[in-house]
Chain A
């Protein structure tokens, strides 16, 4: 048995032994103070140095990736906006061709109508000829003084009667003339309306072109900003990328739900085609994998269909094909999709039949009397619904290509940003750890000096007494 009091210098005095040992220890620690300080400091540096270096390299890597992300983002944005501008120009071209190709005819019609209106207006301006020169004669007669002579009186009365008659006749002619002019003016109305309508049409079409031109202007501004590589453009593109990623993810989830329903529709009847006894894994039947493969083939056909329709641009070789080959691929993929949809509809029908057969068998086994209930057309609704669903879902799945493309393109942006954020976070952690190691070494050095405080104080006093001036402790200088 080892004696537990072996460490005691003074066998019967533990306190004195401890104090003595402490003093010896402090003396040793004081003697090795400088090398120990150097050791702790070097340890701190050796730990913190690589950590800080690692942090710096991570930040550099993050900056590199960010720069690359920026380049890719701007290039992608440039291509996208360029395509959009191209489409806008195509639209403008189509609008101009559609609306303004009839412009010469419209202009001719407008000119004809204006000419006619002008002519009619001129006709309106044609006043009836002025009264005959008898007006002057009447004026002269009117100046004749009434002297009471019967002859003169009679002549004047006759003149008055003639003038009154002529006046009535002239008034009648004037009225007829105005009536005809009013009729001409009334005839203006349809022409004015036609002119007004034509002008409204022209105005509307020109406004539409103006709006489209405004949209092109906006896109061009964006394009210029992207070309200038401004932060605003980068921020806009990144935000757009995140939004697209979120939307594409939601749509893809919905599509996956549709694919799951599709899978459920054809998994059971597929066992009728490939058998139900083979397993790929412990719980995954070959028939289920076959059903999955059919769904994936449908999705692929949809992808090719969208690609050949130039709705998506996931496969450059398809996009680069000539028109003839592209149309061939379009018809082939569409035909295959229709065939697969037909197969799915048939499988959906078979599923219904298999379930009904199984149900009938179970009823027989349970010795239950089968009730011959005629369901009529109502009972056929689920079967028809399943068949319809089986036929429609492949076409609906074909449209997954659109969100898939958005997902793939936007995930580059999102993943890039996520990697940069991760690298920055790692760099931050490494930097914190480096600083912690460096400061820990300082704390340890101070703690060391606290332990050897007594000899340090003595050294301080001795040096102070020898030199006559206060000396800073070594610990302070350290």
Chain B
């Protein structure tokens, strides 16, 4: 091998190394954790939750993650995760996973039952744990609830939680009967959650009540 060839080979190697160094090390995947409130009268809104799940399945890309969990009396448990999937990076495999996911969710929504209490905070902590484990670049928690937290006496949730770098979006926050009497209750409830979420380090807080415009979920 002549000196010239050696130089050419070294130049090629340098170019290859430089190119590999150009690769973006950040994760561009999106992970979504959706909390579905099935407590009390809100269980009747389950069909809307199904629409949102379908929207998420249609919008998420190969490589993204999705988990759906129910909000129960105590929601800080893996058992509350109804379905979860990290979609394959191959589009064809991802489509198959999405179909299976949809079938599983359809089965769940057919037999959804209401619960006595609503532990949104426990669900948020569980969701944050799941999202941080995915290592996704963009992490979102969707809360499909009226945001009225009701805990039993034994459940402790009045402590600071960590939602750093996580977007929190409340979807379909319905008004309660008492809210209609005094709208300040509704507004106060939303504001209180916003303060709590922002205090927990969330990167964004958003409320989307119109499920016809769910594209806001993926817009910062």
A residues in contact (CB < 8 Å) with B: 268, 271-272, 275-282, 286, 353-354, 357-358, 361-362, 364-367
Contact of B17 with A by CB under 8 A = no
A367, B91: Cβ atoms under 8 Å?
A: no
Which 7 pairs between the two chains have the least Cβ-Cβ distance? A277-B63, A275-B89, A365-B54, A276-B62, A277-B89, A279-B24, A279-B28
Most buried by A among B26, B54, B92, B98: B92
The secondary structure that dominates the A interface is helix
Complex CA distance for A268 and B90, rounded to whole angstroms:
10
Contact A276 B61 (CB under 8 A): yes
Q: Is the CB of B89 within 8 A of A280?
A: no
B58 on the interface (CB 8 Å rule)? yes
Say yes or no for B95: interface residue by CB 8 A criterion: yes
Candidates B28, B61, B91, B99; contact of A272 at CB < 8 Å: B91
Q: In the complex, which residues of chain B have a beta carbon less than 8 angstroms from the beta carbon of A268?
A: 91
Q: Within 8 Å of chain A (Cβ to Cβ): is B23? A: yes
The closest CB in chain A to the CB of B26 belongs to A279
The answer, yes or no, to whether B102 is at the interface (CB within 8 Å) is yes
Q: Is the CB of B102 within 8 A of A364?
A: yes
Number of interface residues of B (CB under 8 A): 22
26 contacts between A and B (CB under 8 A): A268-B91, A271-B90, A271-B91, A272-B91, A272-B92, A275-B63, A276-B61, A276-B62, A276-B63, A276-B91, A276-B94, A277-B28, A277-B62, A277-B63, A278-B89, A279-B23, A279-B24, A280-B23, A286-B23, A354-B91, A361-B58, A364-B99, A365-B54, A365-B55, A365-B57, A366-B54
A357 B62 Cβ-Cβ under 8 A: no
Min CB distance, B30 to chain A, in Å?
A: 10
Q: What 1/0 flags go to B62-96 for Cβ under 8 Å of A?
A: 11000000000000000000000000011110110
Q: When the two chains form their complex, are residues B62 and A275 in contact, meaning their CB atoms are under 8 A apart?
A: yes
Q: Are A367 and B22 in contact (CB under 8 A)?
A: no
CB contacts (< 8 Å) of B91 on chain A: these are 268, 271-272, 276, 354, 357-358
> Which of A277, A279, A361 makes the CB contact (< 8 A) with B99?
A361
- Which residues on B sit within 8 Å (CB–CB) of A365? 54-55, 57-58, 98, 102
- A277, A280, A361, A364, most chain B CB atoms within 10 A: A277
Q: Tell me, in angstroms, the Cα distance from A280 to B24 when the chains sit together.
A: 5
B62 CB, min distance to chain A CBs, angstroms = 4
Interchain pairs with CB closer than 8 A, number: 64
Chain A residues positioned under 8 Å from B132 (CB to CB): none
Additional pairs, 7, CB under 8 Å, beyond known A272-B90, A357-B92: A268-B91, A278-B23, A280-B23, A281-B24, A354-B91, A364-B102, A365-B98
Chain B residue nearest to A287 (CB atoms) is: B89
Which chain B residues lie closer than 8 Å to A361 at the CB level? Answer: 57-58, 95, 98-99
> Is B174 interfacial (CB-CB < 8 Å)?
no
A271-B89 in contact given A277-B28, A277-B29 (Cβ < 8 Å): yes
The residue in chain B whose Cβ has the minimal distance to the Cβ of A362 is B58
Would you give the shortest CB distance from A283 to chain B, in whole angstroms? 9
A282 engages B98 (CB within 8 Å): no
Which of A268, A279, A280 has most B Cβ within 10 Å? A279
Scan residues 88-126 of chain B and give those whose CB is less than 8 A from a CB of chain A. Answer: 89-92, 94-95, 98-99, 102
Complex interface: chain B residues within 8 A of A279 (CB): 23-24, 26, 28
Give the nearest-CB partner of B137 in chain A.
Answer: A279
Complex contact A275–B24 (CB within 8 A): no
Find chain B residues with CB under 8 A from A271 CB: 62, 89-91
CA distance in complex: A268, B91 (Å): 9
**Residues in chain B near residue A353, CB distance under 8 A:** 92
- Contact mask B154-174 → A, CB, 8 Å, 1/0? 000000000000000000000
With A277-B89, A282-B24 as known contacts, state yes or no: A358 contacts B54, CB within 8 Å. Answer: no
Chain A residues with Cβ under 8 A from B89's Cβ? 271, 275-278
| Interfacial chain B residues near A362, Cβ < 8 Å | 58
**Given A365-B54, A366-B54: A275 in contact with B99 (beta carbons within 8 A):** no
Q: Contacts A275-B62, A365-B54 known; A358 to B95 CB distance under 8 Å? A: yes
Query: A354 to B94, alpha carbons, bound, how many Å?
Result: 11
Interfacial chain B residues near A282, Cβ < 8 Å:
24, 28
Q: Which of B159-218 contact A (CB under 8 A)?
A: none
Assembly CA distance A288 to B55 (angstroms)? 26
CB distance from B170 to the nearest CB of A (A): 23
Closest to B93 in A: A272
The distance in angstroms between the C-alpha atoms of A268 and B95, with both chains bound, is: 14
The residue on A at minimum CB distance from B24 is A279
CB proximity of B134 to chain A, nearest CB, Å:
12
Nearest CB in chain B to that of A273: its residue: B90
Determine the residue in chain A with the shortest Cβ distance to B94: A276
Q: Which residue in chain B gives the minimum CB-CB distance to A284? A: B24
* Interchain nearest-CB distance for A232 vs B (Å): 41
Q: How far is the CA of A132 from the CA of B99 in the complex (A)?
A: 124
Residue in A closest to B86 when the chains form the complex, CB atoms: A277
Nearest-CB residue, chain A, relative to B20: A280
Determine the distance from Cα of A362 to Cα of B55 in the docked complex, in whole angstroms.
9
User: Which A residues touch B57, using CB under 8 A?
Assistant: 361, 365
Among residues of B, the one whose C-beta sits closest to the C-beta of A277 is B63
Q: Which residues of A contact B92 (CB under 8 A)?
A: 272, 353-354, 357
User: In the assembly, what is the distance between CA of A282 and CA of B98, in Å?
Assistant: 26
* Chain B residues closer than 8 Å to A364, beta-carbon distance: 99, 102
Beta-carbon nearest neighbor of A366 in chain B: B54
Q: Give the residues in chain A near B61, CB-CB below 8 Å.
A: 276-277
B5 to chain A, nearest CB (A): 11
Write out the residue numbers on chain B whose beta carbons fall within 8 Å of the beta carbon of A280: 22-24
**Chain B proximity of A474: nearest CB distance (Å):** 70
Smallest CB separation, A275 vs chain B (Å): 3
Nearest B residue (CB) for A276:
B62
Query: What are the residues of chain A within 8 A of B29 when measuring CB–CB?
Result: 277
